[in-house]
Amino acid sequence: MNQERLLKILIAVRVSEKSSLISGQYIFKVIPGATKSEIKSTVENQFNVVVKTVHISNIKGKAIRFRKVRGRRKNWKKAYVTLVPGNEINIVTGE
């Protein structure tokens, strides 16, 4: 896999109460063309952890309206990454 592409796969970390209660599972916003194997190798390389599973969910963009103009937000992809017990990612510092 291309190293340049791997650096662009993770867009943002999604933090919520539900995701923080589940230990060992982290949620990332990723590029729409990312695959499970690319996400797994990216997380393992960037955070020095061992990934157990990766689940992907495609989120459809909401229909929006600004005055009389109708539009649509972009579709995006969410990745649920579960780590092997004993591994942890510090979201604040990124380690």
Backbone torsions φ then ψ of 65, nearest 5 degrees = -140, 130
Q: How far, in Å, CA of 20 to CA of 25, rounded?
A: 8
Q: Minimal CA–CA distance to 84: which of 37, 51, 39?
A: 51
Helix or strand holding residue 25 (H, E):
strand 25-30
Q: Which domains does the chain have, with CATH numbers?
A: 3-83 (3.30.70.330)
pLDDT for 21 equals 74
The first and second tokens of residue 35, run together, are: 């695959």
pLDDT confidence band for 89 (50 / 70 / 90): confident
pLDDT tens per residue, range 25-45 = 899 999 999 999 999 999 999
pTM for the full model?
0.84
Q: How far, in Å, CA of 9 to CA of 38, rounded?
A: 8
Identity at 73, one-letter amino acid code:
R
